[in-house]
Amino acid sequence: QERGELHVRYEGVYKVPELNNRPCYKFVRGPYVPLEEEGVNELTLYIDQETCLQLGSVLKDSQGELIASYFFADIQVNPDFKKDQFTRRGL
């Protein structure tokens, strides 16, 4: 951002097939100047329209080739945990 090289655009609401067509806000960041160490040149983020949680991200290189994609379709907000869930006995 200091160099004036943070480019992010909003592309509207998009039904994401990998998330059972859940409507998400779609943001695309790119190009990266300079490229990230792993070669990332474009990041697409999918933000759930209802919960505002990030449910997906897609990373591509400067040729548009997929580097990685992550989708989180079964998020439970504030789930119930057993009383001993985070103890040695709960493991």
pTM of the model: 0.80
Query: d(Cα 4, Cα 20) in Å, to the nearest integer?
Result: 36
- What is the predicted pLDDT for the residue at 37? 76
**Model pLDDT for residues 29-44, shown as the tens digit of each residue:** 988 877 777 889 999 9
Determine the pLDDT at residue 4.
74
Alpha-carbon span 26 to 56, nearest angstrom: 9
Task: Quote the pLDDT of residue 83.
Answer: 86
pLDDT of the residue at 57: 97
DSSP letters, 55-90, are EEEEEE-TTS-EEEEEE-----SS----TTTTSTTT
Q: Residue 1's pLDDT is what?
A: 64
CB atoms within 10 A of CB 32: 17
Name the stretches of the chain with pLDDT < 50.
none
